[in-house]
Structure 1
């Protein structure tokens, strides 16, 4: 149960409403959408959950002109729905009336997970009369479950004396409000736990669950990062020198005032006096005591300038949004815009040399590749992100660096976690905030045991990846950083199966030139010589936009990305191809891989540009050779055109991450559907099996370079399919080698025959895990879904 003091939230917890949900908007108080907006705004201004619930029941009762509105909160531990707020029933019943799960019409709504709308409640067989509430006179009843991620948090109830059903519009209104209330309750639980930890660090531990992870364990200090100008996501941060921080803020205000004056003067001949009034309005806001002094007060109370600015701007924006006058309500947008402008100035003045503790847990709403790479590798111990999944590019990079991570922690409040001790558990996909002393010792013990297991497999480093009955695979490394390359060279891998060239583009503030790229690729080839290195051409777009080459699209994964960008920007593409070929002239262990090929014509264009680059270099006297050329099979069209595509290249590499995403129509970065993303889906296995068979029938080698390669259950099935090589992050390589050396090939093939008849992803994964268990490998190799 939630304590009355829960949910002390300075910032809104409800998402903005942007579209009408009712077809009949007329009421005495205005449209239902306006009423809903007002309720949401009022709730955002409340101090705790009880106040928010009391406000909801009062305003819903007035909006619907009904006789009763109540909120029941579900207590899963006791198995009860508890009356927590009411307007219309007896106030004395609050906190005392408890319905067992499934009991009464309220329990029926929760049990069926759908609205229950009846005209005469006492006549309904599920009705249960409770004298303490004083509900005898009421007949019309509607109960709407409050849901979050399939979990029932409570029930929103309205009742009336009249014997009638609530209208469709009224039901829609309650359903929409219930979805908003779910966020309120969830955030209240988190804030209550954080308040408790602030009051007494020994009082308990807060666990938050994610939807996906990079495996491993880490313990360290949270460092919260946020994108530029994201005002509502700026965290609070303690400061030691309020005078210096206040001076920094005053300088930002002065600079913005000067800029506004310059803009007004420059626009004098272009805009009317009325249009230029916006600059004057901004200047007045900056000169007001409320905005500036309010921020300064928060700075001197101990918060840094961006956090103090955020709190002040949101406070005054909320005041304006609550006003009845439409013109004044619109001024809230001006305040927010001005706040963003000031934040931009503060961020521009910040030093780029951010301090990172030795045990850094990087945390944020959505961590970018550049933010991750900004942290010194030796200090980065873990990642926690509100958004994203285990298949996002940042997750892939985390695995490559061997960094534990938890993604999709949708109820994470980053602004309140900076500087706290955090444990990241990539195995159970949980984050532990401020672990207790006993729990902290347990995490340290597990981290030590994990390191011991890794050391215990080192004896396999120089042994071949060969099954007991003589079937051999090549194990390659996925890489993209020099640290990975050096580690790969010393880990016994047979080569680099996927070098993500774009990672070095993220480390710069511009596109690297030909000389710079040539030096880079030459170094990679030299370190790995004589082992093969597959350099993938630039693969940006989707979840990998470059900071200096932004791509704004509604559906980026179906948009401008991979080879499409390279073909549309031949200048960039030719520069990269020339650099790769020049590096290959010195070291013959080069192969080039084209990403996201979806048609024969795309491949033909890419090959023509490659030949053009070769011809140019030969004319310049560079003794270039023709490297092996491959394609990534990661879109369904390539699966069905594999026979034509493979005839034009030397090898194929299956990118299981994108192939799974496109076959299953699941955005792999969307935590709402992340549970549907699984490469052991029957359709994915059948597609991969088809590609392997057709490529090998053409006499070409085929590899898998996606995350499947490092998943023991999936790698077991890929081995059985006859794949020639697996390319994976170094962190899991020895475990996969251990699996291969422990399981006879013929037994793996028998397992494959069995699972290919199964139609359930869960059944396939369970069977593969059971097989690993039978061979004594299940515990250390288990990767659960």
Structure 2
């Protein structure tokens, strides 16, 4: 059965469209289970379940038979969201007869739901004439297959919608999560990792001869590479091993893979996509073979495929033109991908993977680029050069939007610009509540581009400077002199305002290409201070650079990430003192900076007072603290809805931290993304946080809300929401109360 499962899923993945996939499903399941009927029903736009494919019932009934939820046996499977296994189907009270199907002959019935993201997409049904209950093995097989096919069917449906849009049949809508608020209207540029056969964007070409010549040039370059490698290794390989290079050259022949690609190019498909399609088909064919030797050849096909694709992509990349309204789309966007697009042309981002708290989303907010994350059903490879609307408020992407929808979003965009102008008037005004409570608003930075934007928007200091950014942008560790120069620019730009520099925070979802950390569970592994304490040579160089950069400015604060226990803090303090003494011995005159602890690990919530007694300040990293408290990977789109910064447990933990810090007369700030949410900022102020640190983009919005409320009102609101049991209830209560006060918390249009 395992082989059957694998082969069915592979065939379905290779299908060109949804209907082909469904036809494969019913034929293969019928054969594998040796039944007389297999059918699949899928949900349509009216929440009815339509017979979409069958092998065994009357094929003329396809597309004509539909059932509502709870209607018939299929409707019962939908409403109960579990399998229905009947020996004598026609005696069941929910049985409904459809004469056009010809199913009256079949007594035994087994139906299982196809569930994707808690929604029933459809129902898989097998039937047979003989009156018998399908056994547990049959049921288990169909349930397992249904679970594996659910995502494939959802993706095929989404791809079908995009194809339909291309044929002028309306607009397509895809839902993810908000990464950065705002609206972008522009043209999709699909970007994929180098030599990734599964993520090559679909593009049409009109110059068939030019594309064919381009393909042959790349093929020739790979042939030359293979011959050269064969010659270089000739003396070290046996004749059998040398034969592999001959096999590669044979596969590239016009009569083999090359010929198949040329056929597709002549149909108007670009060379990289045509090549990837052909290679993936051959790889699947080899992988499904019973012979072990032939099965292993799939790896050879894949290797060859990547070699040619890298040439095709490199050449295409050199010719890539970014439109003035570029919306970058990819499976998993990275900071380096953003850097490839001229800043003035990048208007929006869409990432299939990741969530609101992924680092690319945090970077997007710093750059104020409307972003949608976690659009996991988005058939992104089909969107290149298509018109898109990115609704960063609601986490929605529209492909080929209609004129009325475009007009609606253009109006929202104009309203945004007007609102931003109004907020600019707050730049020089203090963040002070209506009853005189003063709160400091600082910014999170990482790039020099953040500095000007932060100062323009009235930042009173830097609550988090991400020192890992210069490390991420290099192909080696930056030296002490390099780091000193970078840090000096940040400190000088904000002087005399404080700049809080976090020591190197890598690991988890932040990997240095030249210092890879491969772990099964990276978020609970070697990251943050754990790495730099194990490598004091890295830590000492960085701290020495920070101290030298602060000479004469004296506005440096050092913050330690991912601290778990007091001995770690003591070890880090000892190294900082050592670095300070070394710098002083070299003749520099620097002031010993305040050293603080980032509260990210839940253990610190319950030792906040003990840490406050040994540190100069505490700063909550709400992104990781929320992740660890709720056991939710903040980069995983599949559990994004469980990542809730307003969860009651998170709010109570934050209160404990403030109480612990203030018991030792130590200031406490919060530098996670929660601080940039205007509504959450009201609750944080009420808890007693001394500083809120956020992206420069969020600062004016937060300031406008806090200036419109009194501290007494905020404290009453906090007392009210702490009595609630769910994040959803807290969110609703917060919005309702602020709206009642005439305060607009969410700059979110109703679409």
Which segment is superposed worse, 668-677 or 608-617? 608-617
CA contact (8 A) 2:250 2:256 kept: no
CA contact (8 A) 2:18 2:157 kept: no
Q: Distance in 2 between matches of 1:746 and 1:237?
A: 59
Q: Distance in 2 between matches of 1:128 and 1:301?
A: 46
Q: Secondary structure at the match of 1:731?
A: coil
Q: Secondary structure at the match of 2:286?
A: helix
Q: In the alignment, which residue of structure 2 is the partner of 1:25?
A: none
Q: Are residues 1:207 and 2:173 paired? A: yes
Q: Distance in 2 between matches of 1:654 and 1:502?
A: 18
Partner residue of 2:684 out of 703, 718, 725: 718
Shift of 1:641: 2.3
Q: Distance in 1 between matches of 2:711 and 2:745?
A: 21
Q: In the alignment, which residue of structure 1 is the partner of 2:98?
A: 130
Shift of 1:356: 2.4
Q: In the alignment, which residue of structure 1 is the partner of 2:11?
A: 42
Q: Deviations over 1:303-354 (max 9, x none)?
A: 5443232122123334434555453343233211211122234455666685
Instruction: Give the 3 Å change call, closer, same or farther, for CA 557–446 of structure 1 in structure 2.
Output: same
Partner residue of 1:473 out of 439, 458, 481: 439
CA contact (8 A) 1:553 1:559 kept: yes
CA contact (8 A) 2:50 2:65 kept: yes
> TM-score scaled to structure 2, two decimals?
0.95
Partner residue of 1:572 out of 538, 543, 566: 538
Q: In the alignment, which residue of structure 1 is the partner of 2:324?
A: 358
Instruction: Give the 3 Å change call, closer, same or farther, for CA 353–547 of structure 1 in structure 2.
Output: farther
CA contact (8 A) 1:712 1:782 kept: no
Q: Are residues 1:463 and 2:432 paired? A: no
**Within 5 A, what are the aligned runs for 1:629-640?**
629-640=595-606
Q: Are residues 1:765 and 2:731 paired? A: yes
> TM-score scaled to structure 1, two decimals?
0.91
Q: In the alignment, which residue of structure 2 is the partner of 1:418?
A: 384
Q: Are residues 1:56 and 2:25 paired? A: yes
Partner residue of 2:340 out of 353, 360, 374: 374
Aligned residues: 750
Q: Secondary structure at the match of 1:383?
A: strand
Consecutive unaligned residues of structure 2, counting only runs of 5 or more, are none
Instruction: Give the 3 Å change call, closer, same or farther, for CA 675–241 of structure 1 in structure 2.
Output: same
Q: In the alignment, which residue of structure 1 is the partner of 2:261?
A: 295
Consecutive unaligned residues of structure 1, counting only runs of 5 or more, are 1-31
CA contact (8 A) 2:619 2:670 kept: yes
Instruction: Give the 3 Å change call, closer, same or farther, for CA 238–512 of structure 1 in structure 2.
Output: farther
Q: In the alignment, which residue of structure 2 is the partner of 1:343?
A: 309
Q: Secondary structure at the match of 2:598?
A: strand
Instruction: Give the 3 Å change call, closer, same or farther, for CA 351–86 of structure 1 in structure 2.
Output: closer
Instruction: Give the 3 Å change call, closer, same or farther, for CA 578–243 of structure 1 in structure 2.
Output: farther
**Within 5 A, what are the aligned runs for 1:97-108?**
97-108=65-76
Q: In the alignment, which residue of structure 2 is the partner of 1:193?
A: 161
Q: Deviations over 1:268-314 (max 9, x none)?
A: 56554444443332232234532223334545655544323212212
Q: Distance in 2 between matches of 1:245 and 1:538?
A: 46
Q: Distance in 2 between matches of 1:361 and 1:246?
A: 29
Which segment is superposed worse, 772-781 or 694-703? 772-781
Partner residue of 1:72 out of 41, 45, 68: 41
Partner residue of 2:128 out of 156, 160, 181: 160
CA contact (8 A) 1:421 1:435 kept: yes
Q: Distance in 2 between matches of 1:696 and 1:258?
A: 70
CA contact (8 A) 2:619 2:668 kept: yes
**Within 5 A, what are the aligned runs for 1:360-509?**
360-509=326-475
Q: Deviations over 1:734-760 (max 9, x none)?
A: 111111111111111112122222221
Q: Deviations over 1:377-436 (max 9, x none)?
A: 222211101000001111111111111100111111221111112111011210011212
Q: Are residues 1:172 and 2:140 paired? A: yes
Instruction: Give the 3 Å change call, closer, same or farther, for CA 93–199 of structure 1 in structure 2.
Output: closer
Shift of 1:165: 1.9
Q: In the alignment, which residue of structure 2 is the partner of 1:21?
A: none
Which segment is superposed worse, 357-366 or 244-253? 244-253
Shift of 1:442: 1.9
Instruction: Give the 3 Å change call, closer, same or farther, for CA 358–187 of structure 1 in structure 2.
Output: same
Partner residue of 2:575 out of 590, 609, 630: 609
Q: Distance in 1 between matches of 2:745 and 2:423?
A: 15
Q: Distance in 2 between matches of 1:430 and 1:145?
A: 27
Q: Distance in 1 between matches of 2:735 and 2:197?
A: 46
Q: In the alignment, which residue of structure 1 is the partner of 2:193?
A: 227
Q: Deviations over 1:462-509 (max 9, x none)?
A: 111111111111000111111211121222121111111222222223
Q: Are residues 1:681 and 2:647 paired? A: yes
Q: Distance in 1 between matches of 2:165 and 2:92?
A: 46
